[in-house]
Chain A
Amino acid sequence: MTAMTMPARPEEDNAGLRPVPWRRMVWVTWRQHRFALGGVGVLLGGLALYLWLTGLQMHHAYAAVAACHPASSYACQNQTINFDATYGQTAQTVGTLLMAVPILIGAFAGAPVLARELETGTFRYAWTLGVGRQRWTLAKLVPLAVTVTVATGLFSLLFSWYQQPFFTDGSSIPLEPSLFGLRGVAYAAWTLAGFAIGALAGLLIRRVVPAIAATLAVSTGLVFATGLYLRQHYMTPLLGRNLSNPPASAWVISGWWSKGGTVISQSVMNQIMNTLFGQIMTATVPKNVKSDDIKFYKGPANTQVLNYLLHHGYTHWTSYQPGSRFWPFQWIEGGWLLALSVLLIAATVWLVHRRAA
């Protein structure tokens, strides 16, 4: 009976017990979450079918544009413009809608995993079975996370193919915020992060619907914060001087004027330019011109304003990220989202271990 008075050590208690095999636990995960995974499959499958069918039609139309020779001729330029006008708007709308998919999958597949167990009380059953709650949590979260990540990764390959004509003809910029997250590794990484946020929110909030709502809010906020503030700092932006720079494929972050080494504020610059514009218009527009025709003088006047400024000691600066940085940016974004997801899932497992019912 001396053993009973000794302090209990969990590692001794566990000695000689083989853990429950992962394969069996994964069956449980599949059995309990197959409808969620089925929902993800139907959503992505339906969207993939749409991209495939409209993409084929669009690629067919683009083949004719690309075959046009010589490419610099007026007729060929016109064909390109027509192509962009016919398909560009739809493609842009599709892209915007698809940006919601990782967030939706994260919230609807990730948040209920733990929240439902906690809401219905079934965690008291699952967590007192031989498998142990940490392994149980891992066996739930890891296979689900891998599945939704791989599925959306494959889907974004299809989207890259769909979107290809607009990159070839130069009307889309690779780093453009509305497209960057849909291609490369970013789409899958955002889905993974959304799922991990959902899992943790489900554990903390303990109710399905509020956890889904919170996940939608947090993931959306993170997507926008990344696109608006964070992504432009992944690598030091390049500085473009005067308007011939930067290249057309660049993602322009900001522009400003300086004179004699001093930056001029936007409001001061607007005043100067408005005054110049007014003076040039007064000097160039004939008195008897019809009011409808005034607009034809505005373009040349603007060019004159810029020329005047550039010849009078003003310099226009542009801060931009070149299109060649697309893949480095993809790996940076995919990398930190993967790290964040691993961290969130590890935190979830740790909190499940710590959590006192």
Chain B
Amino acid sequence: MNVVEASGLGRRYGSTWALRECTLAIPAGHVTALIGPNGAGKSTLLNLAVGLSVPSAGEVTVLGGKLPGSAAALDGIAFVAQDTPLYKTLSVADMLHLTRNLTRRFDQAYAQARLSDLDIPLKRKAGKLSGGQQAQLALTLALARRPGLLVLDEPVAMLDPIARHDFMATVLAAASADGVSVLLSSHVLTELERVASYLVLLSRGQVRLAGQVDDLLAVHGQASLEELALNYLRNHPTEVAK
């Protein structure tokens, strides 16, 4: 099963194509890193996959042929948007209750246990938590929905190194223990090194590289994901926006 499948997918804002001619198939069971410079179209692709946006051209399906935004797709995908938007005036407990009331499936016991492990008090307002705690809360809410696919848009960009490490450890644990497929975008390459097993490189709204990390490293003769991405972007300057 492919968790995301796109063919000729494009999205235009006014006269500018944020994403065009995007054809890819991301297989299930991977932690997929969606990387590229700022403005490459990463958020656009993720918004299309979670159904917040509709294609201007081509098509995209998720979780084995489901239309993004359909009830089954919404049920199977948990999305943590950039800057982890939470209802800042609600308490952590109310965020849990709200999410449970707006979904068909919610593992309350899991969520409470994890928040307790993280020492996040249930009575505190979401807006009063630290940046790392807010990210962890958003991730907990997402995982408690028991999704088939977890989509994270720049999840660690705003976090300090320790919070970043903790966050990624949780993502990785969920992927390996519960078999959740993960699709995360980032322009911070170092954090992805240990976690990503599948890579999609975007620049200027187009897919430049896509495949399993091990295969890509072998084919391009690079030692690390970071080198692979940087070298690719340096060697194809005409295609890359600065």
Contacts and interface: CB of A to CB of B under 8 A. Distances in A.
B212 interface: no
B85 A125 contact: yes
Question: Among the interface residues B65, B73, B105, which one has the most CB atoms of the partner chain A within 10 A?
Answer: B65
A81 B67 CA distance: 73
A124 B85 contact: yes
Contacts of A25: 101-102
A17 B70 CA distance: 11
A136 to B, nearest CB: 7
Nearest to A356: B53
B85 A120 contact: yes
Interface string A15-44: 001111000110110011000000000000
A27 B75 contact: no
B122 interface: no
Interface string B34-74: 00000000000001001111100001010011110111111
A122 B73 CA distance: 19
Contacts of A32: 87, 90, 98
A14 B85 contact: no
A282 B73 CA distance: 91
Contacts of B78: 128
A4 interface: yes
A4 B64 CA distance: 6
Contact of B67 (A8, A126, A129, A131): A8
Interface residues of B, number: 44
B45 to A, nearest CB: 13
A28 B96 CA distance: 11
Contact of A31 (B54, B98, B105): B98
B77 interface: yes
A13 interface: yes
A32 B97 CA distance: 12
Contacts, number: 111
Nearest to A10: B70
A3 B64 contact: yes
Interface string B140-166: 000001000000000000000000000
Given A3-B65, A127-B52, A130-B105, A13 B85 contact: no
B136 to A, nearest CB: 15
Contacts of B133: none
Contacts of B82: 121
A8 B64 CA distance: 9
B86 interface: yes
Contacts of B94: 31
B126 to A, nearest CB: 10
User: Which interface class (under 10, 10 to 19, 20 to 34, 35 or more) fits A?
Assistant: 20 to 34
Interface in A129-187: 129-132, 136
Interface in A332-357: 356-357
A122 B86 contact: yes
Interface in A91-129: 120-122, 124-129
B194 interface: no
B52 A356 contact: yes
B167 interface: no
B191 interface: no
Contacts of A125: 79, 81, 85-87
A130 B69 CA distance: 9
A25 B71 CA distance: 16
B104 A17 contact: yes
A9 interface: yes
Nearest to B99: A129
Contacts of B214: none
Given A10-B67, A13-B72, A126-B102, A356 B54 contact: yes
A18 B72 CA distance: 10
Interface of A: 3-4, 6-10, 13-14, 17-20, 24-25, 27-28, 31-32, 120-122, 124-132, 136, 356-357
Given A4-B2, A121-B83, A122-B85, 16 more contacts: A7-B59, A8-B67, A9-B67, A13-B72, A20-B104, A24-B102, A124-B52, A124-B81, A127-B51, A128-B50, A128-B52, A128-B79, A130-B145, A131-B102, A132-B74, A357-B52
Interface of B: 1-2, 5, 47, 50-54, 59, 61, 64-67, 69-75, 77-79, 81-83, 85-88, 90, 94, 97-105, 145
30 contacts: A4-B2, A4-B5, A4-B61, A4-B64, A4-B65, A7-B59, A8-B65, A9-B67, A10-B69, A10-B70, A13-B71, A13-B72, A14-B71, A20-B103, A24-B101, A25-B102, A27-B97, A28-B98, A31-B97, A120-B85, A121-B82, A121-B83, A122-B87, A124-B85, A127-B51, A128-B77, A128-B79, A129-B102, A132-B71, A357-B53
